[in-house]
Amino acid sequence: MNTEISGVIFTYLLTLALAIPLGRYIARVFKGEKTWLDFMAPLERFIFRFSGIDTKKEMNWKQHLFALLTINSVWLIYAFVCLMAQGHLPLNPDANPGQSPDTAFNTAISFLVNCNLQHYSGESGATYFTQHFVFMFLHFVSAATGIAALIVVFRALKDKITDKLGNFWDYFVKSITRILLPISFVIAVIFAFNGMTTSYAGKDTFISMQGDTVHVSRGPVAALVAIKHLGTNGGGWFGANSAHPIENPNYLTNTTELVAQCLIPIALVFALGFYLNKKKFSYVIFGVMTVGMLMFMIPTINAELHGNPAIAKMGVIQPTGAMEGKEVRFGPANSAYWSVMTTIISTGSVNSMHDSAMPMSGTMMLMGMMVNCFYGGCGVGILNFYIFIIIAVFISGLMVGRTPEFFGRKIEAREMKIASLIALLHPFIILVGAAISSYVIVHMPGADWAVKPSTWLNNPGNHGFAEMLYEYTSSAANNGSGFEGLGDGNIFWNVTTGIVMVLGRFLPIIGPLAIAGLLANKKFIPESAGTLKSDTSTFGIMIFAVIMIIAALSFFPALALGPIAEHFSLK
Amino acid sequence: MKTYLLPSLKLTLILIVITAGIYPLVIAGIGKLTPGHGDGETVSYKGRVVGYALEGQKFTKDEYFWSRPSAVDYNAAGSGGSNKGPSNPDYLKQVEGRIQDFLKHNPGVTREQIPAELVTASGSGLDPDLSPAGAQVQVARIAKVRGLSADQLTKLVDEHTEKPLLGVFGPAKVNVLKLNVALDELKK
């Protein structure tokens, strides 16, 4: 077997081997059982005492939401102010200026919502202060927000009839002290010993072998890159993200980064089973997600290994595959694996440039983000999946003529309304965004803005449309990767994607939390012969069908105009 | 609101100190123990720093192994790819231009011998590596310019070929900077 394919398979198996025990561990943490990280307890007690929080006070779903939204608003204001003022703040050895208001607006939202769309380049648009005290801080807390929200839903599924769903601060802080921080530490140490820089020194200058004077950006990168992946954030230190040789020096760090970004989303699926004592149910979910992942993965790897047909026609050889936008040390198979994982998991970091990928791969990446729940982001992946479960339960119930029930609770009109709205929100904000930007390009190409719409696109034709579609899909899915040829560093894109990111983050958290809270309050109906079993493969197929119908039907026309058309025109 | 706002503010403050202050400082401390002391490992030639081991640099002279095309011209103060789509006609013209340029500088080499990475830009614009084939195809040119034997250079490339991780995972590669430093050292 060739070493590129074996590398990919090894990476996936390693992820699973680590995710299953981690899932068991996460369930123990949130059930309050003994774990080997209990030595963090004094630190947690100190944090809670300092913040004046009593973790014994249990909250209902609305109080959870209030806490979540309040602290997120604090971070938004904090991040926005820091980014505008970064030119005057310490830790700025390269003397980079503050961000413009619209860029700061976009960037602050982007990191707050775990999206990490970057309309600036880290080398010139951020300082060491904002990289650490804004971006890295938000990497931790945005991931912990997702996990904490998911644990509320776990709790609502578990208890019989209650509106007491634990304490939000408790879930949130423990996500950091028991999961994110310790694992990030281990990963960052691996990175440091593989050449990633860790010191706070500014740019260096040297004269190259050929006599060119070269300036080299660097900085305390390793700590950030660890949590950037572990928290499925994706916002990188350098403009080229994890394609950059300092941000991703070799195949070992690449494997580590890949495992790190898939680790928690997969572990949380297993944690669900351990937490609720319904392992079979989590296997069904895992199975559906994995089939979905393979469905996107195989065509992508295949397309990249075959190379670009247009370049093949010129007579040069592509022994490894398509190389535009890719790094030799990773190769096309691994870059393809990464680009699918990073899009289904909502990380959005890249180790190759997605804009230069084959159109088939572009289609798969877009679909990954359109579905946005095959594994999905830290916590929010399962929250998105939960919406599809509710819809699947409802439809199955109607099909067999029974009242739809899920875990002993009736699903009624109110829950279905919320679930449908959330499921439709995603295509709505993506397609409306793409439509508006297309309109502006066609009808106002010469508008007198800082960047004229006629110069937004880096590629003509269907591919150009795909660049815009990708940008909104990535924003709505809180992914953060891009077809980076798009000229997105201007007020139009900063503002529109900023709005899409906020809607795409908080509504899909509020919806599932509300459904779970409402269901937890309903009368518990004991399982009987008439109950729809949620832990069977039949139900798995049902969920899969619902996901594919919603994603395929709503997005297919847009995909057909973009990468699918390009695929058939490329010979 | 006060029930949530005050704890939010305090919690934010303490978590900033822990995650953005203490955590990276500890990592920076551990980084001091690494080969590059956390500043990045450099490569020296004749006692002078000529580059960073991990970062590619521009090699366009015939006497050196060329590095890959770069969308940022190997300016390491920034980074990035071309972001050209695979069907973009201007891009395909550019690739054709690179092929012809390569053929001109490497007489005797045919199109079917040129691996794609030599005519396509990398993702970072700072790709430090070539595939072994990408280095070998340049051997004849360098041998002629430098008056060395092709066998000697082939051997040099082989010596600088880094095997896949543990021999089985990922591609083999050649670090262009280290290869070119070794090439200059051959002269002595």
Average confidence (pLDDT) over A464-487: 94
Interchain pair B11, A47: CB under 8 A: yes
B103 CB near a chain A CB, below 8 Å?
A: no
Would the pLDDT of A324 be above 90? Answer: yes
In one-letter notation, the amino acid at residue B24 is P
Sign of CA dihedral A494, A500, A506, A509: negative
Chain B CB within 8 Å of residue A402 CB: no
CB of B41 within 8 Å of any CB in chain A?
yes
Q: Of A433, A269, A467, which is closest to residue A359 (Cα–Cα)?
A: A467
Tell me: the pLDDT tens digits for A337-386? 999 999 999 999 999 999 999 999 999 999 999 999 999 999 999 999 99
| Rounded mean pLDDT, A392-418 | 89
Q: Quick check: A224 contacting B, CB < 8 Å?
A: yes
User: Are A239 and B79 within 8 A, CB to CB?
Assistant: yes
Question: Residue ranges of the domains in chain A?
Answer: 3-569
pLDDT at A529: 76
B 138-157 near A (Cβ less than 8 A):
none
Would you tell me which residues 172-211 of chain A have a C-beta closer than 8 angstroms to some C-beta of chain B?
A: 173, 176, 181, 184-185, 188-189, 192-193, 195, 197-201, 203-204, 206-210
State the Cα–Cα distance between residues A9 and A255, nearest whole angstrom. Answer: 11
Tell me, what's the pLDDT at A161?
65
Distance CA A37, CA A393 (A): 38
Residues A265-270, mean pLDDT to the nearest whole number: 97
B83 touches chain A (CB under 8 A): yes
Q: What is the largest CA-CA distance in chain B?
A: 80
CA distances from A376 to A289, A290, A347, A499, A544 (A): 9, 11, 9, 21, 15
pLDDT in tens, A135-193: 999 999 999 999 999 999 999 988 676 788 999 999 999 999 999 999 999 999 999 99
* Shortest distance, CA A396 to any CA of chain B (angstroms): 40
Residue spans of the domains in chain B: they are: 1-39, 53-186
Mutate to test the interface with A, among B18, B19, B168 (most CBs of A within 10 A): B19
Does an H or E element contain A172, and which? helix A168-174
**Measured between CA atoms, how close is B138 to chain A, in angstroms?**
15
Determine the Cα–Cα distance for residues A295 and A364; give it in Å rounded to an integer.
9
Report the complex ipTM: 0.95
- For residue A366, the model assigns a pLDDT of 96
* For residues B25-31, average pLDDT: 96
Is there a contact between A209 and B117 if contact means CB atoms under 8 Å apart? no
Nearest-Cα residue of chain B relative to residue A135: B20
- Count of CB atoms within 10 A of residue A91's CB? 16
Q: Which pTM does this prediction carry?
A: 0.95
Decide if pLDDT at A1 tops 60: no
- Hey, what are A236's tokens? 């990188």
Token pair for residue B93?
A: 């013209």
CA distance B139 to B56: 19
Query: In the prediction, which pLDDT does A32 show?
Result: 92
Cα→Cα distances A213→A151, A210, B179, Å: 53, 9, 20
Is residue A40 a contact partner of residue A176, using CB atoms and an 8 Å limit?
A: no
Q: Chain B residues with CB inside 8 Å of A240's CB?
A: 79-81, 123-126
Measure CB to CB from residue A240 to each of B51, B57, B123 and give the nearest one. B123
Q: What is the pLDDT of residue A318?
A: 93
At residue A187, the pLDDT reads: 97
Token code pair at residue A216? 């080299």
Q: By the CB < 8 Å criterion, does B166 face chain A?
A: no
Question: Tell me, what's the pLDDT at A158?
Answer: 84
- DSSP symbol at B165: B
Contact B50/A207, CB-based, under 8 Å? yes
Mutation pick from B1, B13, B27 vs chain A, by most beta carbons of A within 10 Å, is: B27
Structure confidence by residue, pLDDT tens digits, B89-132: 999 999 999 999 999 999 999 999 999 999 999 999 999 999 99
Q: Give the count of beta carbons closer than 10 Å to the beta carbon of residue A284.
A: 24
Percent of chain B at pLDDT > 90 equals 92
Give the one of A71, A123, A245 whose C-beta lies nearest to B54's C-beta: A245
Q: Rounded mean pLDDT of chain A?
A: 93
Indicate the residue of B4, B15, B126 with minimum beta-carbon distance to A176.
B15
Start-to-end CA distance of chain B, whole Å, equals 76
Q: How confident is the model at residue A532 (pLDDT cuts 50, 70, 90)?
A: confident
Using CB atoms, pick whichever of A6, A47, A208 lies closest to residue B169.
Answer: A6
φ and ψ at residue A406, rounded to 5 degrees? -140, 120
* A window 438-467, beta carbon within 8 A of B: 458-463, 466
Residue B188 has pLDDT above 60, yes or no: no
Comparing A408 with A325, the larger pLDDT belongs to A325
Q: Assess A60–B contact: CB distance below 8 Å, yes or no.
A: no
DSSP A244: S
Q: Do B115 and A249 touch (CB under 8 A)?
A: no
Partner residues linked to B44 by β-bridges: B49
B104, burial (CB in 10 Å: exposed 0-12, middle 13-18, buried 19+): exposed
| B86-100 confidence digits (pLDDT tens) | 999 999 999 999 999
